[in-house]
Chain A
């Protein structure tokens, strides 16, 4: 198996609060990797440190053999990591299509001069961006809303749109922060199909999720965070039986704090 992302002893503190301490994990190419844990375990912080929104206090990330820049989100995207947000963050005044087109920004190059003079290259690039964005809308199944302002989309469709926007940056690793939050069973089922399709198309998925059924059914491997520490990492079936994990979720003698 080929390593895609390796976290080496990542730590992050907010004042006196240790949000992450010495988290090391390895994500292989082509797998769906789950990151679970109780509320406040540091999952989203891990995402934020990984994608450059926060600067880690310790440790580093190695992606495709090179160290990831810290605190520079756009360079992380450039390297091939895209993310979605726990609370949907779309560009409210743009249509669905434009949201996805904006997501393609990092893979386009037209300069100011080309845009102002409408150079051949700029026009062609704009056409390709439009088409590619529409393809992605089809891919996640919401192309009929292409020209709808994204705010008026339904909740589930907004989630899908956010995934399409993240995919537009042509990532190798797609990091999804609780994509099933607030979805009903049908929508979650459709989401599972979509994530499986994404993996099938060669994109590695890092998934934070509370829906245990979804995680167990989808992930190849799962890491469990509790109070900023990794307490388990294995295939779902084994993690499910891990006593530390059970006590972290349910509370127990081994989890006395």
Chain B
């Protein structure tokens, strides 16, 4: 929270308390504001929260432990497909969310360890290439496991996934209290918000612990980390599997929210998109992952809504497709960022200790 407050320009440093409340209120009323602009914006907000979870999980691997992972979306896929297998008509299994979500997380963690073992000795670009390959392998498996036995239904994907059902309360049906009707997109928003807050709390606790410091040590100097007694192998596996866990949970939520999964949702571009969020926001700090995820989910959509009318007003026709513009402006944003704020929008002030624990103070 403090990191987020500091991330707010100008106001964050002057009036942290006001900023804190502003952030909380904004988080709570955001869907109401979005609803004013239309349903699609509410969906975008819901997706932004999912991307936040992904960015937080990837930030743990890349930012804290310093392991460049270009196949992170594979864990998202594992979570989503777990949901599809265990809560859809595809196999006719309909398990409740409190079984499927943890299972999805566990499978993703397992996948993280499976990826982790072969890459223990790799660093930097070599690691990036292997993780990239891993991401592609998972996607290609999903694409082709429809023959001879149909497991994943191949490129068609699996649809009609069960929606989130919190102990009899179906989140995909609008809630009616008296005359007041709450659209289901709100329900998902607040549920996802809870998940994101939970993720932040867990990751923050990890960061300020012996594990977080061991990761940071390993990232800054692996040889020295070994020399002070850190079991680098275990710490790497832990980073991969914990990072994957967040991806797995996000994947499960994605499946339930979207109601449909197919391999094309888990392409390399998605991995890169999540990594861009982490880098754009600021590697190695929680606020950075959140800001990055929010910015890079919202910007393309804003652009899509602005670019078309503006071009039509100016030239009478659409000259540049918004999709083309999106990549163009995204790369422009990255170049500008590298020039102006190389450490990301929210440069890391990540701390790995709590100085207030010192009795005498320092």
Instruction: Name A residues whose Cβ lies closer than 8 Å to a Cβ of B.
Output: 51-53, 73-74, 77-78, 82-83, 85, 89-95, 97-98, 101-106, 108, 110, 112, 115-116, 118, 122, 125-127, 129-131, 133-134, 143, 146-147, 165-166, 168-169
Judge whether B111 is part of the interface by a CB distance below 8 angstroms.
Answer: no
Q: Please give 17 more A-B residue pairs, beta carbons under 8 A apart, in addition to A82-B228, A85-B224.
A: A73-B229, A74-B230, A91-B217, A92-B220, A94-B217, A98-B216, A101-B352, A105-B214, A105-B217, A108-B210, A115-B205, A115-B209, A115-B210, A118-B205, A125-B210, A126-B210, A131-B359
Say how far A238's CB is from chain B's closest CB, in angstroms: 33
- A93 & B238 in contact (Cβ 8 Å cutoff): no
Judge whether B167 is part of the interface by a CB distance below 8 angstroms.
Answer: no
The residues of A that contact B214 with a CB separation of less than 8 Å are 102, 105
Say how far B357's CB is from chain A's closest CB, in angstroms: 4
The residues of B that contact A74 with a CB separation of less than 8 Å are 226, 229-232
Judge whether B355 is part of the interface by a CB distance below 8 angstroms.
Answer: yes
Say how far B276's CB is from chain A's closest CB, in angstroms: 22
**How far, in angstroms, from A116 to B232 measured CA to CA in the complex?**
20
Contacts known (A77-B229, A105-B210, A115-B211); A90 close to B221, Cβ less than 8 A: yes
- A91 & B220 in contact (Cβ 8 Å cutoff): yes
Say how far B358's CB is from chain A's closest CB, in angstroms: 5
From A90, A104, A134, A166, name the one whose CB has the most chain B CB atoms within 10 angstroms: A134
- A169 & B355 in contact (Cβ 8 Å cutoff): no
Say how far B243's CB is from chain A's closest CB, in angstroms: 13
- B357 & A94 in contact (Cβ 8 Å cutoff): no
**How far, in angstroms, from A139 to B21 measured CA to CA in the complex?**
43
**How far, in angstroms, from A240 to B354 measured CA to CA in the complex?**
50
- A94 & B220 in contact (Cβ 8 Å cutoff): yes
Q: Residue A102 contacts which of B216, B223, B231, B348 (CB distance < 8 angstroms)? A: B216
The residues of A that contact B358 with a CB separation of less than 8 Å are 130-131, 134
**How far, in angstroms, from A130 to B232 measured CA to CA in the complex?**
22
Say how far B362's CB is from chain A's closest CB, in angstroms: 5
Judge whether B213 is part of the interface by a CB distance below 8 angstroms.
Answer: yes
Say how far B275's CB is from chain A's closest CB, in angstroms: 19
The residues of B that contact A143 with a CB separation of less than 8 Å are 362
The residues of A that contact B232 with a CB separation of less than 8 Å are 74
The residues of B that contact A97 with a CB separation of less than 8 Å are 353, 355, 362
For window 271-327 of B, CB contacts with A under 8 Å fall at 284
